[in-house]
Amino acid sequence: MKALNSLRAFGVGVAVALLLSGAAHAAVSFTFVNEGVALPAIPPAPNPCPPPPALPLSCDITALGQAHTVSGGMFSPWQFLSVFQISDAFAVTGTFLFDDPSSANNDFFGTISGLFDVTTFSSMIDYVVTGGSGVFASARGYGSGRVQIIPSTDGPPTYVERGQFSIPEPTTAGLLLVAGLLIGALRRRLT
């Protein structure tokens, strides 16, 4: 009987550990809308763009905006910042930051790449998440978006972006420790 109780406790402990470790690997997925302005790079940019009407090719551009989640129950709004370049071949490369201004500080950041379409003033952007803070601490993930540039004759161009992210939550030692403690407590209780 004691061996059966011990085996049952071990089975329950393993099940709890698997559930907890499965939660640690769950992905945070959400769709978002990001709107703002695109400016010549904010100093001290190493390669600022020439003033209009020159084309902003092979120079630094800064996008400043605010991003809101549309689905996925994530935190918002984020302040958005991206410094990027559009090459002579219209390839887009740069960096990005989704900055959570709340005390939770659920930020994430990384690199962008894509292609600018000069006929539609739009870009398809691929995001690679390389880190973050809060729930995104040590995060790695991917996202994509479609950016529409809206030219203006009386100010900087604005943009609207719609996209999605999938960012796996990092495994934490805390969850594994809790699973281990539960296994030990269940084994001790049933023996």
Number of domains forming the structure of the chain: 1
Residue 69 falls within a domain, yes or no?
yes
What value does the mean pLDDT take over residues 69-96?
Answer: 86
**Strand, coil or helix: 135:** helix
Torsion sign, CA atoms 178, 183, 186, 191: negative
Work out the percent of the chain whose per-residue pLDDT is above 90. 32
Residue 142 falls within a domain, yes or no?
yes
Residue 186 falls within a domain, yes or no?
no
Name the residue with higher pLDDT: 77 or 186: 77
Residue 178 falls within a domain, yes or no?
no
Using left for φ > 0, alpha for ψ between -120 and 50, and beta otherwise, residue 161 falls in: beta
CA distance 20 to 115: 40
- The residues near 135 (Cβ < 8 Å, ≥ 6 apart) are 28, 75, 104, 106, 169
- Pull the structure tokens for residue 79: 């302040």
Residue 177 falls within a domain, yes or no?
no
Residue 3 falls within a domain, yes or no?
no
pLDDT at position 115 is 93
Q: pLDDT band for position 1 (50/70/90)?
A: low
pLDDT tens across 96-119, in order?
999 999 888 999 999 999 999 988
Residue 158 falls within a domain, yes or no?
yes
- Pull the structure tokens for residue 186: 């269940």
Q: Which of 19-23, 58-62, 161-165 has the highest mean pLDDT?
A: 161-165
Residue 19 falls within a domain, yes or no?
no
pLDDT at position 27 is 75
Using a 10 angstrom Cβ sphere, with 0-12 exposed, 13-18 middle and 19 or more buried, the burial of residue 151 is exposed
pLDDT at position 22 is 45
Is the pLDDT score of 172 beyond 80? no
Q: What is the mean pLDDT of the chain?
A: 78
Q: Which of 20-24, 31-35, 137-141, 150-154 has the highest mean pLDDT?
A: 31-35
Q: Which domain holds residue 122?
A: 26-172
CATH number at residue 111: 2.40.350
Is the pLDDT score of 61 beyond 50? yes
CA 159 to chain centre: 19
Using a 10 angstrom Cβ sphere, with 0-12 exposed, 13-18 middle and 19 or more buried, the burial of residue 63 is buried
Is the pLDDT score of 60 beyond 60? yes
CA distance 7 to 134: 38
